[in-house]
Structure 1
Amino acid sequence: MKKITFILILSFAIGCKQAPSQDKVVDNPPNTSGDQDGPTAYFAKLQADAIQEAFEGITTDKGKETGLFPIRTTGVSTQPIKEAAEQFLKAMSLSQKERASYAIDDDEWRKWCNVDNGIYIRQGVSLKEMDSLQKSMAFNLMQTSLSAKGLTLSKDIMKTDQTLKELNNGSDAYDEELYWFTFMGTPSNTEPWGWQLDGHHLVINYFILGDQVVMSPVFMGGEPIITSSGKYKGNSIFQDEQNLGLALMQSFSAAQQKEAMLSMTKERDVAKAEAFKDNAIINYEGLPISKLTESQKEALLQLTAQYINNIREGHQQIKMEEIKAHLDNTWFAWVGSTEDDAVFYYRIHSPVVLIEFDHQKAVGVPHDKNSGPTRNHIHTVVRTPNGNDYGKDLLKQHLKEHHH
């Protein structure tokens, strides 16, 4: 396990340092050999350094765009989510409720990480410690907050972690129930509140104000991508996100591909907006969507919907309309080849959404012979740029209006 942990930290360190103006590779990641506390201390410091910096949100080097996220009525009720949250909290013991409850503006929102368990300390109440009623209430909250697709994908990611447990001799680093829930604020029809799910390869931040919903940052990933043995043999994740992304790139003309391509080779993990990157400066790069044909634009929207449609029905349409309103200021970037079996990275980026897909190096699957990125390990990230991750722009407006 020490070898696995070291590889994971090396991979994560390359991507997790804040780098305002350029990518920064960590040349000397911490040596964890013989030091059980090394990884934990390392990630704790990464988190502390990130939290110390006041939240601004992901922006370009031109600064934050304002006026993008007005408080408004959507007409799509969030009452079922409120009721599910109240039932979940009611099912908790007093001790559990205390551990899971935070103020609406608490930094707990920003305290999440996609790495496996034991090397990053999570807060809240895990599925592992819940009784059967509490677990049913937890999944009921997810069911009312997510679409059927989003719930299925979340559960399949959890199953993938159980597969890693099997592949690593029952290691405590992996488990389908090591996922923690926290609540920020109190469930309400008028006041802001939200919930967070935090665990290996699955992080959901879910903010609600009235009938508005912001579901970001969202991290979803997995390894192995297709499970070939064990309890969940046949489990498969991210095939559409992978295949539709490649199909879109392959549909481009040579000139379009050249403009979209940031690099023809992919030798490392590329994702820029994972944990502790709340204030990352990411410029628009690649191919502007204004240069796509109508059919290509439709294909891009279908690809985007693979991520947005994890939100509950109704609110997914609202978010897609927001994205369409900024389509002419949307960019598509690519790293890697375009062969049918390619490993690659792509990014969809506009003022109101940032989506990343990244084939990663092998970490949790033992004896994987791939030294570089592989299709067997995928990370995806969805962000709301310009200050509205965690619904913070909406929260700021609400607090100003109501003089809290």
Structure 2
Amino acid sequence: MLDGKIKIPAACRHALHALLLIIGASVMQSAMAQGFQERAKKALSEPFVGITAQGTVQPGLFEIVPSGVEMRPVTDAANAVIAAMNAEQLESLRFPVDNPQWRRWINIHKFPREGVSLREMSVPQRQAVYALLRESLSAKGYQTTRDIMRLNHHLGELVSDFTDYGEHRYWLALMGTPSATEPWGWQLEGHHLIINFFVLGDQVVMTPTFMGSEPVTARSGKYAGVEILQPEQNEGLAFMRSLSQEQQKKARIGARDEQNANKAEAFKDNTVIPYEGLPAAAMAGPQREALLALAGLHIGNMQTGHAAAKMHEISAHLDETYFAWKGDTEDESVFYYRIHSPVILIEFDHAGTIALDGPWGKPNKRHIHTVVRTPNGNDYGKDLLRQHYEAHEHGADHTHQN
């Protein structure tokens, strides 16, 4: 002790600083969770409308049409999940196809969940879920899904917390009964990973889908080398750089400085997002093709046939599509981009620091959020479900829940 002051060794000071950071982050995260619960209560009290550009749904965009994709493997895999569960798990797993559970998803880790946790499943049960994911998604989609889960384990390693984080801290819910003709689907939900997978015949609507991670690369630990969303990041930057200075000026809608730039994350089903940025109608042919290729990176998480059907739908509305950008275009720049049309909304964002070290909320390349939505009322396949009920009710008392 010198001059009445206690001299603390450097190692202890560093440990104390780290502890204070952890405590501060925990307090901030709890406050964030409380805020989301309030947002959820308000949002889920509103009837579902869908994301719109001006507050009203543009009608006639979606049709019940055969895709030609063989769905028997997906249906069989879903039935295998059901067969693997015990009675108590089935009670938690299953929901009606029009249940509001579709809309209760959220990407943060501190939030009440429904469904059955993969953490609570036996190894054979978990393998049945993975088989459902493999059959439903493309190879890329399945790999990204599993790698997000692995990175959630890595985050647990980095912050020494396997209560809030972990590879199997995800929940599965089944909507309706797997069928070749009747509507059904599944939802996988947890930290940085949400997939809503609606099925009608051989048609699929796989939105909202949320994929991301903090960090996006594991440089140590059990899953060292795992990395996600780098093509979506790098090709987005390459596309923006490929535009002329005048086009970039039109595409840019602001600086990338807020904690989170995405507009269509959790409990934003009815948000109004005006078209902004550079219209595809003002792009040259090669630029239009490059924009479609960028969209295809996000859509490519769907099984190949369903991705092709969705890309055909996007291409049909290309002249109504807009590309928007926030941020700079240097190699180390953080940024946000959006691809938006009547039938697709894709967002990519370098989000702010939440769990790792660094200034709270400062955007960085270690933390990425991506969102894919179907605007104008067809998230969760709701417009297709509406059309199906109108054509097949035959006097049945269907409950059209939101």
Structure 1 length as normaliser, TM-score? 0.90
- In the other structure, the counterpart of 2:372 is 382
- In the other structure, the counterpart of 2:297 is 306
- 1:401 paired with 2:391, answer yes
1:383 counterpart letter in structure 2: R
Secondary structure of residue in 1 paired with 2:106:
coil
1:113 to 99, 106, 110: 106
The CA deviation at 1:279 is: 0.3
Q: Distance in 1 between matches of 2:73 and 2:272?
A: 36
1:156 to 147, 156, 168: 147
1:375 counterpart letter in structure 2: K
Instruction: Determine what percentage of the aligned residue pairs are the same residue.
Output: 49
Whether the aligned pair in 1 keeps the contact of 2:50 and 2:378 (CA below 8 Å) is yes
2:287 counterpart letter in structure 1: Q
Q: Distance in 2 between matches of 1:396 and 1:180?
A: 27
1:368 to 351, 358, 361: 358
Shift of the 265–224 alpha-carbon distance from structure 1 to 2, 3 Å rule, reads closer
The CA deviation at 1:265 is: 4.4
The CA deviation at 1:6 is: 3.7
Q: Distance in 2 between matches of 1:290 and 1:6?
A: 47
- In the other structure, the counterpart of 1:13 is none
- In the other structure, the counterpart of 2:344 is 353
- In the other structure, the counterpart of 2:3 is none
- Cα displacement string for residues 144-173 of structure 1 (whole angstroms, at most 9, x for unaligned residues): 000000000001100110011011113411
Q: Distance in 2 between matches of 1:71 and 1:3?
A: 50
Q: Distance in 2 between matches of 1:381 and 1:213?
A: 17
Deviates more, 1:168-177 or 1:214-223: 168-177
Shift of the 41–263 alpha-carbon distance from structure 1 to 2, 3 Å rule, reads closer
1:400 counterpart letter in structure 2: E
Whether the aligned pair in 1 keeps the contact of 2:354 and 2:360 (CA below 8 Å) is no
How many residue pairs are counted as aligned between the two chains? 373
Q: Distance in 2 between matches of 1:355 and 1:7?
A: 28
- Cα displacement string for residues 90-135 of structure 1 (whole angstroms, at most 9, x for unaligned residues): 100011011010111110000110001xx20111111111111111
- Cα displacement string for residues 25-73 of structure 1 (whole angstroms, at most 9, x for unaligned residues): xxxxxxx5xxxxxx65543332221110000000011521111111111
Q: Distance in 2 between matches of 1:318 and 1:378?
A: 27
Q: Structure 2 matches for 1:130-141, cutoff 5 A?
A: 130-141=121-132
Give the unaligned 5+ runs of structure 2.
1-21, 397-402
Q: Distance in 2 between matches of 1:402 and 1:122?
A: 32
- 1:101 paired with 2:94, answer yes
The CA deviation at 1:277 is: 0.2
Whether the aligned pair in 1 keeps the contact of 2:256 and 2:336 (CA below 8 Å) is no
Shift of the 134–70 alpha-carbon distance from structure 1 to 2, 3 Å rule, reads same
- In the other structure, the counterpart of 1:18 is none
Secondary structure of residue in 2 paired with 1:244:
helix
Whether the aligned pair in 2 keeps the contact of 1:206 and 1:216 (CA below 8 Å) is yes
Q: Structure 2 matches for 1:3-402, cutoff 5 A?
A: 3-8=24-29, 32=31, 41-61=34-54, 63-116=56-109, 119-365=110-356, 367-368=357-358, 372-402=362-392
1:286 counterpart letter in structure 2: G
Q: Distance in 2 between matches of 1:178 and 1:202?
A: 10
- In the other structure, the counterpart of 1:27 is none
Structure 2 length as normaliser, TM-score? 0.90
Whether the aligned pair in 1 keeps the contact of 2:117 and 2:171 (CA below 8 Å) is yes
1:263 counterpart letter in structure 2: G
Q: Distance in 1 between matches of 2:256 and 2:266?
A: 25
Shift of the 258–278 alpha-carbon distance from structure 1 to 2, 3 Å rule, reads same
Secondary structure of residue in 2 paired with 1:183:
strand
Give the unaligned 5+ runs of structure 1.
10-31, 33-38
The CA deviation at 1:369 is: 5.0
1:162 counterpart letter in structure 2: H
The CA deviation at 1:200 is: 0.2
Q: Distance in 1 between matches of 2:133 and 2:306?
A: 14
1:143 counterpart letter in structure 2: R
Q: Distance in 1 between matches of 2:388 and 2:362?
A: 46
Whether the aligned pair in 1 keeps the contact of 2:193 and 2:210 (CA below 8 Å) is yes
The CA deviation at 1:371 is: 5.8
Deviates more, 1:41-50 or 1:384-393: 41-50
What RMSD in Å do the two structures reach over aligned CA positions? 1.4
1:280 counterpart letter in structure 2: T
